[in-house]
Each structure stands twice: as structure tokens, then as C-alpha cells.
């Protein structure tokens, strides 16, 4: 087993599920379990400036071993896994020489990973695939990225003859709940630019992502016995359903792709007296993004016009923005990464991220930070899988980017 795969299998054994309802930072103390392991491994590798702070961020420096003036490059991955499914007791299964058919994840529960549902599986016929056992997520998002970065460091330490500039390492908590960059110290990190190694099938290179906002809507109703409710009852449940039904059906995630934005309901609860509805709003284009936010606000205004002032309130908050604006001035990062992907025998796929990464926030904090693939599929659920070759190629791409920047540098 290669070093990067061995590390991946070890790291996914540690439950680092984040919690969106937590008031602590990081949101779960278990994230420190992996952070401490990484801190110790970085110490054993002989890196410098190693730190694990109270917020769960791990940082370290691999010093330059060349006289060339190479840019200081950062490498970032997140340690937490999604709260959407359990990450405890992950039991990876290795499917060797995949034949293109159904993969039984769990015989007892009749859980099957099928190319009928996930046709991308057919791309990996003949390869080794790591899957779940059907009861947890796998954790490739983003322990695959953590493993690729750590394997890169091990390789460079083992091969001191390979020239490289200063490399900065950052492992973040709580990315899955949108807080991964909240307390990231860009000044302390001190990189000229960085790459996140976080998700995406083999070959993907991303420097565009959604603009993102979250909307929380609260509706206050009036409960009256239904037998005498005429002209008296205001049913908050019906009103939140009315709000949801007023948004364009074609702008739901299940009907969108590529650059198309969406409204996605992520929570609904309530009674006749009070009901709550939460949405995430996503769009690549800044003008369309503002239109979306304006639309949902107008729908709430209409509810108040129909049922009375203050029947509904909305809390609308921007979460992150499209990193493209910050990457365009430093497109050498994308050009170099594309060359690196091609150099390791993979076809580059430069596509927009239909989501967000730590890199989006960090780019607006002064650290340009596009994303490179790890090879994982179906993140956040029991059908998550990772082709072994894809992760190994991610590791090779990191090394190749370092080599290209070193070779381009002046003495």
C-alpha cells in the first residue's frame, strides 16, 4: 500500500464530524484528536514553526533547500467531516480490479453502490476503489487531502536532493459547516499563495465557486380551534409552505448544474403558532446572486402584506463569494497546476465548484487559494468512494507543482 493510501486509511479511523449547532470552536473536540496526530507527525518529519492553536488549526513550515527565489507556497486541507452522516467507526472496503457492476456495501442492510445510480463508477473499471461499509461516510472529504499533503512532506523529507522553496502547511477545522477560515491567521501562515487539496474527481482544478448566502425565515401564526378558525387562524405551517412554493421550481439543486444557481431548503420545522424555514442560496454570477436575495426578501414582504406586518421575518447573511475575482490576477497558479496535472498523465478538468471551500474565504482574506482534486465521489454520505489511483495522482500533482515553480525560479 502506498504511503498516501496508508495515511488515508489511518486518518479516516478518527471521527472528526463537525457540528453546526455547537457554540464552541472548533465545533467538536474530536477534531483535536486528528489535529494532535498531525502535529506529532509533523514533528517527527522535522518541520519547523509547528503549531496547534486553541481553535484547532495546525500549521507548519518545510524550509527551503534551494538558493532559488521560489514563491512561498501553501498547502491546505480540512480535518472535519460532514455532519450529514456519521464518521464514527469508518470501516473502509477495498474493491480490487473493479468489474463495473454493483458493489454490495452492506449485505445485511441491502445497501448497494450501483453504476445505475452513480454512472461515474464505470470510469474506474479495472481499478481499486475504496468504499464505505454502508453505515458511515468514508471521510475522503477531506482526509484524502490531508493524506496527500502529509505524503508529499514525507516524500520530500526522504528525498532531500529534490529542490523546493518554503512550503507552508495548514490543516483547518469546521470547513464543512462554513467556518474553516473564520480564525485562520493569514499573516502567520505567510504564504504568497496556496492550494486547497479538497474533493473533486481526478483531474479537477477549480478557481470559481458559488457566491453564497443563508436565509433563516421565521413565521408567527395564531392558533385557534379549527372548528371556529374562520377569519381568525393564521397557520404558520401553511405560510412557510407558501413561501417555499413561491420560489422557482427550476432553481432547486436537483434541476441545476454547472454555472446554474439554486435555492436549497435545508431545514423546516414548526407549529401553527410558529414555523421556521432555512435556505442556502447559491449563484456564480454576482448580479444574479443579488437578484436571488432580493427575490426571497420580496416573497417575505408579500407574506407580511397578505397576513399582517411582522408575520414573517428573514435573516439573510452572505457566507462567501466567488474566488474567481481574486484568482484572475494570479492566473499563473492555474496555468502551473494545469501543466502539473498534464505532466502526471491526467486530463485537466477546469470547472466551477458547485459549493465552497476554505479557499474561497481565504482568497478574500488575502491568500489566493484555488482547489485541486483528491479523487473522491459522493461526499457526505454512505455511497462515498475513492479510487486509489485518483488520490495517488493528487499526491503526484502536488509534487509536480512544487517542481515546476522551483524550475521556473531564478537563482
**Which of the residues are catalytic?**
80, 175
Q: What is the CA radius of gyration of the chain?
A: 23
The span from the CA of 232 to the CA of 108, in Å, is: 53
The contacts of residue 91 (CB under 8 Å, 6+ apart) are 132, 133, 135, 136
From start to end of 284-400, where are the E strands?
A: 312-320, 349-350, 371-372, 385-387
Cell 441545476 locates to 256
3-state secondary structure of 77: strand
DSSP string, 11-71: HTTS--B--TT--SSSS-TTHHHHHHHHHHHHHHHT-EEEEE-TT--EEEEE---SSS---
Contact 259/252 with Cβ under 8 angstroms? no
The span from the CA of 391 to the CA of 201, in Å, is: 9
C-alpha cell at 25: 470552536
Amino acid at each position: 500500500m502506498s504511503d498516501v493510501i496508508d495515511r488515508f486509511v489511518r486518518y479516516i479511523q478518527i471521527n472528526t464530524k463537525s457540528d453546526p449547532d455547537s457554540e464552541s470552536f472548533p465545533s467538536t473536540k474530536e477534531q483535536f484528536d486528528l489535529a494532535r496526530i498531525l502535529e506529532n507527525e509533523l514533528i517527527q518529519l522535522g518541520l519547523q514553526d509547528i503549531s496547534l492553536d486553541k481553535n484547532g488549526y495546525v500549521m507548519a513550515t518545510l524550509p527551503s533547500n534551494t538558493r532559488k527565489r521560489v514563491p512561498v507556497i501553501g498547502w491546505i486541507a480540512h480535518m472535519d467531516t460532514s455532519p450529514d452522516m456519521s464518521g464514527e467507526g469508518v470501516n473502509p472496503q477495498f474493491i480490487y480490479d473493479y468489474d463495473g457492476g454493483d458493489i454490495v456495501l452492506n449485505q445485511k442492510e441491502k445497501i448497494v453502490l450501483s453504476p445505475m445510480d452513480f454512472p461515474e463508477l464505470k470510469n474506474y473499471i479495472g481499478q481499486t476503489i475504496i468504499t464505505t461499509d454502508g453505515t458511515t461516510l468514508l471521510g475522503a472529504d477531506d482526509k484524502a487531502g490531508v493524506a496527500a499533503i502529509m505524503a508529499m512532506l514525507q516524500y520530500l523529507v526522504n528525498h532531500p536532493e529534490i529542490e523546493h522553496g518554503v512550503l507552508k502547511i495548514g490543516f483547518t477545522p469546521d470547513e464543512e459547516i462554513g467556518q474553516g477560515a473564520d480564525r485562520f491567521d493569514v499573516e502567520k501562515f505567510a504564504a504568497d499563495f496556496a492550494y486547497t487539496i479538497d474533493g473533486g474527481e481526478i483531474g479537477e482544478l477549480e478557481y470559481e465557486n458559488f457566491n453564497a448566502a443563508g436565509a433563516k425565515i421565521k413565521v408567527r401564526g395564531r392558533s385557534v380551534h379549527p372548528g371556529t378558525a374562520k377569519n381568525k387562524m393564521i397557520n404558520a405551517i401553511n405560510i412557510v409552505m407558501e413561501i417555499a412554493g413561491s420560489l422557482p421550481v427550476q432553481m432547486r439543486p436537483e434541476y441545476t448544474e454547472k454555472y446554474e444557481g439554486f435555492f436549497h431548503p435545508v431545514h423546516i420545522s414548526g407549529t401553527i403558532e410558529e414555523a421556521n424555514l432555512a435556505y442556502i442560496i447559491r449563484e456564480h454570477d454576482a448580479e444574479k446572486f443579488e437578484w436571488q436575495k432580493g427575490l426571497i426578501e420580496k416573497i417575505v414582504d408579500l407574506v407580511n402584506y397578505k397576513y399582517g406586518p411582522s408575520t414573517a421575518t428573514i435573516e439573510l447573511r452572505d457566507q462567501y463569494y466567488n474566488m474567481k475575482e481574486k484568482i484572475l490576477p494570479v492566473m499563473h497558479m492555474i496555468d502551473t497546476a494545469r501543466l502539473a496535472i498534464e505532466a502526471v498523465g491526467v486530463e485537466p478538468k477546469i470547472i466551477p465548484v458547485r459549493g465552497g471551500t476554505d479557499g474561497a474565504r481565504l482568497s478574500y482574506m488575502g491568500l489566493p487559494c484555488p482547489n485541486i482534486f483528491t479523487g473522491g465521489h459522493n461526499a457526505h454520505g454512505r455511497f462515498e468512494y475513492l479510487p486509489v489511483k485518483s488520490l495517488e495522482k493528487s499526491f503526484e500533482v502536488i509534487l509536480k507543482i512544487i517542481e515546476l515553480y522551483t524550475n521556473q525560479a531564478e537563482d
